[in-house]
Amino acid sequence: MTTIWEVTEAALDGLGVAYAANVYVAASGSPLPDEFMVYSLVSSPPELHADDFEELRSYRMQVSYYNRAGLINMPDIDGAMTAAGFSRSSMRELPYSDKTRHFGVALDYIYLAEQTVSYPGSSI
């Protein structure tokens, strides 16, 4: 069974940028990389019920991209995510981090999936 996290990782994997789920934790004593991404599930409301079963569910995944050099030369995150079946949603710039010296942007994507199992935590 495939989960939304597996779908997201498969999409981001080909970009050649370090990434992690929820928070990027560098190895002990190591600084954060100059460029990295984190992803997380923002929400997952059901979209369609029939015959007392959930048929469709949408997943809002957020991919946050960070780079010390700025945001001008971002990788094609939109292309990777839409090729994996996501639709583009909201985008917003994140505050500059004086501590890590990273610029950032948060990109939201929606994935609509038929449900194969109808109970909490079911896979897509």
Name the band, by pLDDT with cuts 50, 70 and 90, for residue 122. low
The answer as to whether 102 is a domain residue is yes
HSE, side-chain direction, 13 A CA sphere, residue 82: 8
Report how many domains make up the chain: 1
The answer as to whether 124 is a domain residue is no
- Tens-place pLDDT, residues 78-109: 999 999 999 999 999 999 999 999 999 999 99
- Tens-place pLDDT, residues 21-33: 999 998 887 889 9
The answer as to whether 57 is a domain residue is yes
Q: What percent of the chain has pLDDT over 70?
A: 92
The answer as to whether 88 is a domain residue is yes
Domain at 42, CATH number: 3.30.70.1700
The answer as to whether 17 is a domain residue is yes
User: Which structural domain, as residue segments, surrounds residue 59?
Assistant: 4-114
The answer as to whether 101 is a domain residue is yes
Name the band, by pLDDT with cuts 50, 70 and 90, for residue 118. very low
When pLDDT is averaged across residues 27-56 and rounded to a whole number, the result is 91
